[in-house]
């Protein structure tokens, strides 16, 4: 129960901090998506197998609070989490430098993929507008770089928070197993 409350609190905190705080002060289209950073942190800290159901819940609650169709964020987060897990198994994430590069790659990929999913489910005429969408996305290259730098800074804090909580949960679970 305690573990459940801890994880659900993180999810709500991330969503409210994103929707009602960060998006209101991070202006000029340099928006950082904390949920993407949370997915990366969770998969790195605990692994896909342990955390996938929470990622589905994070996607579901994102769709609820963003007042949009239920589904796009679930699809995006679960597929993104799988990809992170798939890629990080083939590279050694524990090594400081390669781990750092990999995290940067995940953040970049998460932002691009997230925006693409948002476009895909926005009801736009995909075949007619995909080219202008992609062109416009990369025209704002300063915003793109700015967003990813902000995201890197935010990732440090999110990862620390999630890593600590996950370690605490792991300790609790191992204590419970030993007492049984």
Partner 1 sequence: MSRKFTSRKIFKVVIVCIITFLVMWWNPYNFFSGLRSFFIGITLPVQKTFASTADKVDSFGEAISSIGKLKKENRNLIEENLRLKVENVKMADIEKENIDLRNQLNILPRDKFNLESAHIIGRDSYDNNSWVLIDKGQRHGVEKGMSVIVSEGVLIGKIQEVFTSSAKVIFITDKSMNINVEAVETGAIGVVKGAYGLGLTMDLVLQTDSLRVGDKVITSDISQNIPRGLLVGEIKEVDPAKNDLFQKAIISPPIDFSKLRFVFVIKNVNN
Q: Least distance in Å: CB of 84 to partner 1? A: 11
Q: Is 94 in the site for partner 1 (CB under 8 A)?
A: no
Residue 170 token pair: 């792991």
Tell me whether residue 120 or residue 170 sits nearer to partner 1 (CB atom): 120
**Separation CA 97–CA 91 (nearest Å):** 11
**Which DSSP state fits 95?**
S
Q: Is 142 in the site for partner 1 (CB under 8 A)?
A: no
**Stretch binding partner 1 (CB under 8 A), from 81-89, 102-110, 156-164, 170-178:** 81-89
Of 106, 107, 105, 135, whose CA–CA distance to 119 is shortest? 135
Residues 6+ away with beta carbon under 8 Å from 71 = 63, 121
**Which DSSP state fits 180?**
-
Q: Which residues bind partner 1 (CB under 8 A)?
A: 12, 16-25, 27-29, 31, 33, 35, 48-49, 52, 56, 61, 64-67, 69-72, 74-75, 78-79, 82, 85-86, 114-115, 118, 122-124, 129, 132-133, 136-137, 139-140
């Amino acid at each position: 129960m305690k573990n459940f409350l801890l994880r659900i609190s993180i999810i709500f905190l991330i969503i409210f901090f994103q929707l009602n705080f960060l998006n209101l002060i991070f202006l000029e289209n340099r928006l950082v998506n904390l949920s993407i950073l949370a997915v990366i942190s969770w998969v790195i800290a605990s692994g896909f197998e342990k955390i996938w159901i929470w990622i589905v819940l994070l996607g579901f609650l994102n769709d609820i609070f963003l007042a949009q169709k239920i589904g796009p964020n679930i699809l995006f987060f679960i597929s993104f989490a799988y990809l992170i897990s798939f890629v990080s198994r083939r590279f050694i994430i524990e090594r400081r430098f390669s781990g750092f590069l990999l995290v940067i790659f995940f953040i970049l990929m998460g932002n691009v993929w997230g925006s693409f999913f948002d476009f895909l489910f926005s009801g736009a005429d995909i075949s007619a507008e995909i080219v202008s969408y992609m062109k416009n996305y990369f025209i704002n290259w300063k915003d793109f770089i700015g967003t990813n730098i902000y995201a890197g800074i935010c990732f440090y804090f999110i990862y620390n928070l999630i890593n600590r909580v996950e370690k605490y949960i792991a300790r609790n679970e191992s204590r419970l197993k030993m007492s049984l």
